[in-house]
Amino acid sequence: MALRSIVKHSYIRASRDGKARAKAHVNYIKFRPGKDKEEQGKRSFFTDREGGLTSRPVHEAIERQTGTGVLVHKMIVSPGVQDANTQEYVREVMHELGRQKGLELEWYAVEHRNTANPHAHVVIMSKDKNGRQVKLSKDDYTKLKETGDKYLERNKLLDKEKQKAKSKRPLGAKLKEAMKAAKSEFMRVMKEDEAERKLTRFEAMKEQEAESLGDRPDYSQLAAKRLAKEERQEKQKAEAWEYYSKSISVEMAGETVEYSWNMEIGRLRELEKLSEAGGLLSQEDQEKLKTWIKDSYYEEKYIERKSKQVEKIEAGEYGSIAKESSLKELSQVREAHETGAIVLSKAEEKALNSWLQEKEKEEPIRVTLDGEKEPILYDRQDSCESLEFLASEYRKGEDWARDGITKAEYKKLKQWIAEKRAMDKASSKEELKEDHGM
């Protein structure tokens, strides 16, 4: 004889997002739209001893689950008849299942009457009330159905269903109706599963937050909670910045010197060396100084990388300048930036300085002799001997050289000489190789 009761089983594994998925399922079976929900106001969970429960105790039970494997079992249980007391039916079959397996099952169910067959969605925890593992097999499904049918027979619900069947339409019409109902039920279950899969983790968390405030959340409370959280975060940021930006005071030669986070990294490194040698700073200030140096280092690297991407600079009234602009134009823009007439980003400032260095390196050195109107020009294209002569005269202290060359120009002159010597040395090596047939 075919069993009347219906049992469907699946489960959720204890994966990384298993608990979120389980809670999403709980929220779904409680809040899923349906005619029964609209008529009865709201659904509630029931257990072996209690009824009228919210989702909260179910969520708490899920949180208590530990271990690997199955996190929760999901069941759909139906007596298969219209007149049965679904809650009473579920309590009896679940009690008998636990008795047969020697377990004190922890389960929560919610009743749905939105289809032709009233049914209940049951969530069974993976551990019973005594912490023992709950495992379900196909034999258990059969036993559940048998227990359910015994309940129906004892309450003469099967006889009532047969009487109803006799008064219904002819067999052909009933078959068509049954096939139509079966197809409708199949489509409903498929849509229900699809809708449940689409319930994202964010929605599950949102439902959980709403559940903590009751079945009908007060959104003004939610908004107040979020605002309070944002205010706490802003306060924490402000306190962290106040600590970070507070300067370090150092006593040196009877004077107090202040060091701040935005100083050049070179000065910060000098302080670090002094501290290591003489113990000028407390442990806390040493840690802060290390953080400043580290941040400055990475900031410099970032600015350097960005400066290489700068192709032109919009300099307001000075127009647009680029690497190809003249030394005079570049110098004017730097002076305007230094005086505050225009504002450049750090990357633009670094790019401008780099362009200026290149231009200044190429700029000839002008030396004007007494009685001469036109200056003598020296540039990097001159011979090494000519450049060395000028440098030698400067070092000797000759007035004409001393007066005609600045320290910066003398430094540039030495660079030119070093380049010339390196080129001559490389050329000599090549000639030597050729002479020896290498």
Mean pLDDT of 233-250: 87
Task: Please tell me which residue, 206 or 88, carries the higher pLDDT value.
Answer: 88
Place of tokens 């209940």: 120
Distance CA 117, CA 8 (A): 14
- Above pLDDT 90, what percent of the chain? 14
Can you say how many angstroms the Cα of residue 33 is from the centroid of all Cα atoms in its chain?
33
Mean pLDDT of 278-292: 85
pLDDT at 40 over 90: no
Q: Which pair of tokens denotes residue 81?
A: 């008849």
Q: Residue 233 phi/psi, 5° resolution? A: -65, -40
**Fold held by 6-212:** BirA Bifunctional Protein; domain 2 (3.30.930)
For the chain, give the mean pLDDT.
80
Domain ranges of the chain: 6-212, 216-242, 246-307, 312-362, 365-435
pLDDT over 70 (residue 155): yes
Determine the 3-state secondary structure of 259 from DSSP: strand
Can you give the pLDDT at residue 218?
Answer: 61
The proportion of the chain whose per-residue pLDDT surpasses 70, expressed as a percent, equals 78
Give CA–CA dist 231/227, Å, rounded.
Answer: 6
Average pLDDT over residues 308-318: 88
Q: Hey, what are 286's tokens?
A: 């040493």
pLDDT at residue 269 greater than cutoff 70: yes
Q: Pick from 77, 80, 151, 161: which is nearest to 111 by CA? A: 77
CA atoms of 390 and 417, how far apart (whole Å): 10
Of 126-135, 195-204, 330-339, the one with minimum mean pLDDT is 195-204
Residue 230 pLDDT: 87
Q: How confident is the model at residue 30 (pLDDT cuts 50, 70, 90)?
A: confident
For residue 8, name the pLDDT band (cuts at 50, 70, 90). Answer: confident
Which secondary structure element, helix H or strand E, spans residue 152, and what is its range?
helix 138-154
Task: State yes or no: pLDDT of 379 exceeds 90.
Answer: no
Q: Pick the residue with more confidence: 52 or 212?
A: 52
Beta bridge partners of 252: 255
Query: In a 10 Å sphere around its CB, with 0-12 CB exposed, 13-18 middle and 19+ buried, how is residue 96 labelled?
Result: middle
Residue 92 burial (CB < 10 Å; 0-12/13-18/19+)? middle
The average pLDDT across 340-345 equals 87
**Has residue 184 got a pLDDT over 80?**
no
Q: What is the DSSP string of 179-210?
A: HHHHHHHHHHHHHHHHHHHH--HHHHHHHHHH
Q: Which residues contact 325 (CB under 8 A, 6 or more apart)?
A: 355
CB 289 within 8 A of CB 248: yes
User: Is residue 1 very low, low, confident or very high in pLDDT (cuts 50, 70, 90)?
Assistant: very low
Sheet holding 6-13, edge to edge: 6-13, 70-78, 119-125, 107-112, 45-46
Task: Give the residues across from 10 on adjacent strands.
Answer: 74
Query: Using alpha carbons only, what angle is made at residue 353 by residues 349 and 356, rounded to the nearest 5 degrees?
Result: 140
Q: How confident is the model at residue 204 (pLDDT cuts 50, 70, 90)?
A: low
